[in-house]
Chains A and B, each alone.
Chain A
Amino acid sequence: MLPELGHFALVLALLLSGLQAFFGIAGAAFGRSRWVAATSSAVAGQIIMVATAVGLLVYAFVTYDFSVLYVAQNSNSALPLLYRVAALWGAHEGSLLLWIFLLALWTLAVALGTRSLPQRFKARVLGVLGLLSFGFLLFTLATSDPFRRLMPAAPDGRDLNPLLQDPGLAVHPPVLYTGYVGLAVAFAFACGAMLEGRMDQDWARWTRPWTTAAWAFLTCGITLGSWWSYYTLGWGGYWEWDPVENASFMPWLVATALIHSLAVTEKRGLFKSWTLLLAIIGFSLSLMGTFLVRSGVLVSVHSFAADPTRGRFILAFLGLVIGGALTLYAWRAPLLKSNAGFELTARESFLLFNNILLVVACATVLGGTLAPLIADTLGQTALSVGPPYFRPTFLLAMIPLLALLAVGVHAGWKRGNLDHRTRGILLTLVVALVLGGAVVLGAFGGRHWLAVTGMTLGGWIILSSLLDPIDRLRRSLSLPRAVLGMAVAHIGVGVIVLALTGVESYTTERDIALGANETARVGGYDFTLAGTQPVEGPNYSATRATVLVSRDGALITTLYPELRRFWVQQQERKVAGIYNRRGTDLFIALGDDLGAGRWSMRAQIRPMITWLWLGPILMALGGLLALTDRRYHLARREATAPAAAAGERA
């Protein structure tokens, strides 16, 4: 009975999202204030219905309701509780429901968090979000109903894919999807502005915090995915330029460009049409990512089993969304003239180049990701485009971007007088060059020019980003959160550059075969297999190895990598043992029983890998600081004050 209720809740949510779209868009267009007011009620109704559906599906998982097909396929009576809940988004149907739930949550946040916005504009934004919810709910109900019954009920479930039985599953998809879906808010604001015919600096100020929030989630989501992929053997490490990884990276690149171009639009009223286009492209790319991942058209390590009908539906939806938004754009583009000029060394130019380089980088990634598909459609030999293509082309766009970043943060708006900072910029460059060179030549050895470039650029960005906050503190000036946030985020970029340089240049990785009490030396560390023993888990049996890691005869740590064999699907999963020593990961995974008492193992020494996770956290933190800047709240308070007064009088 309960699963049917869940299905019914989804149907109601579909109707409500349709009403939300209609009241929002038509109410604003025909000036019906009661319709406009009804939009928010539809939003509230929709979130209640979607939350009910999610709750019922979680309940079905937790109570082992194997009469629900999705639960029977992705759970089992021996599955631990954490994974029974996380299994909700462990496969296609449930992850769509998660998408819908998050979209409803973002919509609710917009409805609650934008009281100061003009009612009509707000209704239009909510209306566009309603249209998107409608599309996804229709998709779910038509092709991927998570509440479908299994008759007769299965005696036990087929279990969650063992590879997904990892803490990574609990955090990575929800955070990444929050970012993906958050871009829908930027998209809705852009569409709302175009419908309204009002694309001014106010609009940019309203959009900015939402876009920054979505970007921060996307940053964290991608990093969590990268971390999960890093410690899972056979997924190609922390970044493999795999289509599924690219699908999440492309919206991120565009969202990064968008938050920078929004800054120009807010401060100077420039780049309006470009900003609108970026908002449209950003969300379109996140939809396309869903299409690529879900339709199985691309060869990927992270592929799920494919279903062509689903692919076709998402493709049609994608066409409607992009086509509709671009038509709107073509209609409104003539309104988007701006005549303000700026100097070549002004902040505007630096941000312009930032945008061009980010979009070029995104285009090269897109080209490489779609090339196999295009070649296949044209009947050419099947291609597979991997790191050898992506690495150099991406670096080509990134190196100038990073250099411009170190200089551009000091440029003022409009006039762009850099004179007061010339000394600081040059000084930090020299210091970074000396430090970078010293690190590469001294600490690690080897003298590849890329390693020196990376270390120098990373250090330069960090030092250069510190100049302005330090200067403000020294002169006892205020340090607004926006300025602080910018510095923190850019320091995060520098940290990532340093980390990538270190990890890419100095990682040692080797597969070794060890018998009991045998030792292998990898990257200056000795790995000794002390023994193996059988271990029983809640739904698996495992072999656990005891590996002693020492350096120069001194024991550093003992690691316990496991090889788990899951009972239901009879599938294996290697759980690596990792020890972090001053930012360097000592990593050992237990492979197969090679016979003759020996085991295959993969040992890795990855210097600076911790910084690779720290950098994105700093970036997201910077975004968080920036979006809580006072001016967004001031604007709200100013606008609410008269409204509240008016309310009292009435």
Chain B
Amino acid sequence: MTPQRRKRLFLVLGIVAGVGIAATLALLAFRQNVTLYFIPSDIAAGKVHDDRAFRLGGMVEKGSVQRTPGSLEVRFAVTDFKHQVPVTYTGVLPDLFREGQGVVVHGRLAGGVFSADEVLAKHDEKYMPPKIAGTAPPAAMQGGG
């Protein structure tokens, strides 16, 4: 083996090892840090097992938004037109949060109530969270605008 080739071999081995380690660590990070996404029917079906934080998607149930006057706390229900989950959140709601429109919230489920630490809005009012689009009644598909 010429010194030239040996050097190249080391270089290639080094790269392969480096990429391998990176891939392993990325997979580990993935396993530990992936966030699951559910809709209310998944929760009703008992798919949520532990108390890990997850994302919940659905539509804000019409007439469900309630506030305690003067407080940051807000309660609403997220529905997929089959089941619904009550949600509490303390803080400022995003611009596109409105009754009858799609929403994705991040947080934990405790005693049947979803306690959200983040509420995300969409660019587009016609937007439907995934998995909901198929289950929505035609009227809801028209969007609120």
Contact = CB atoms under 8 A, between A and B. Distances in A.
B19 A594 contact: no
Interface stretch (A183-191, A418-426, A596-604, A624-632): A596-604
Contact of B37 (A303, A383, A513, A596): A383
Contacts of B137: none
Given A356-B15, A371-B34, A299 B57 contact: yes
A233 B92 contact: yes
Interface of A: 158, 161-164, 232-236, 299, 301-305, 341, 344, 349, 352, 356, 360, 364, 367-368, 371-372, 376, 381-386, 388-389, 392-393, 396-397, 511-513, 515, 569-574, 589, 591-592, 594-598, 600-602
A384 B18 contact: no
A396 B92 contact: no
A591 B92 contact: yes
B95 interface: yes
Interface string B1-34: 0001001100100010011001001100110111
A42 to B, nearest CB: 37
A235 B104 CA distance: 12
B95 A233 contact: yes
B122 A301 contact: yes
A233 B125 CA distance: 16
Given A304-B124, A389-B30, A602 B92 contact: yes
Interface centre among B25, B30, B32, B42 (most CB of A within 10 A): B30
Contact of B22 (A233, A364, A572, A602): A364
9 contacts: A341-B8, A344-B11, A356-B18, A383-B37, A384-B55, A511-B90, A511-B91, A512-B72, A600-B93
Contacts of B38: 381-382
B34 A389 contact: yes
B71 A594 contact: yes
Interface of B: 4, 7-8, 11, 15, 18-19, 22, 25-26, 29-30, 32-38, 42, 47, 54-55, 57, 67, 69-72, 90-98, 104, 119-127, 129-131, 145
Contact of A301 (B92, B121, B131): B121
A602 B15 CA distance: 47
Contacts of A376: 130
B123 A164 contact: yes
B91 to A, nearest CB: 4
Given A303-B124, A393-B26, A595-B67, A569 B145 contact: yes
A597 B92 contact: no
Contacts of A235: 94, 121
A235 B124 CA distance: 12
Given A163-B96, A236-B120, A597-B70, A396 B33 contact: no
A595 B69 contact: yes
A382 B48 CA distance: 12
Closest 3 CB pairs of A and B: A234-B94, A595-B69, A596-B70
A367 B72 contact: no
A355 to B, nearest CB: 10
A268 B60 CA distance: 61
Given A360-B22, A596-B70, A305 B126 contact: yes
A438 to B, nearest CB: 31
B123 A513 contact: no
Contacts of A386: 35
A305 B36 contact: no
A163 B127 CA distance: 14
Contacts of B71: 513, 594
A22 to B, nearest CB: 39
Contact of A591 (B25, B36, B93, B121): B93
A594 B130 CA distance: 31
B123 A304 contact: yes
Contact of B30 (A303, A368, A573, A597): A368
Given A299-B129, A392-B29, 18 more contacts: A232-B95, A235-B94, A302-B122, A303-B123, A356-B15, A367-B30, A372-B37, A382-B131, A385-B35, A388-B35, A511-B72, A569-B145, A574-B92, A592-B93, A594-B70, A595-B67, A595-B70, A602-B92
